Structure 1
């Protein structure tokens, strides 16, 4: 946020956990999609790292 205060609009990263037909689902918006709106290569790189970490967490929860 020190680089671009507008990043605060995208935080925290939303994660949805829900049950449907006896199965549990975990979903999230890809941070890269949101950050690309700011057209800042450095922030996009950071968003890719965050997205990778979030996907690892979701995969580990399965």
Structure 2
């Protein structure tokens, strides 16, 4: 139970940290940078799920 909570918290903290880094890159293209980041994030998650299922 503690391990699940720690994994969830670390995932949320890394998401917030990555979002802060993305938002600080360029004020003029925040929405574009965020769209690319979120697309890459979900693409990586879905590919990881596919590889995990096939493993």
- Settle same-fold status: TM greater than 0.5: no
* TM-score between the two structures when normalised by the length of structure 1: 0.35
Question: Whose radius of gyration is greater, 1 or 2?
Answer: 2
* TM-score between the two structures when normalised by the length of structure 2: 0.37
Structure number with higher strand proportion: 1
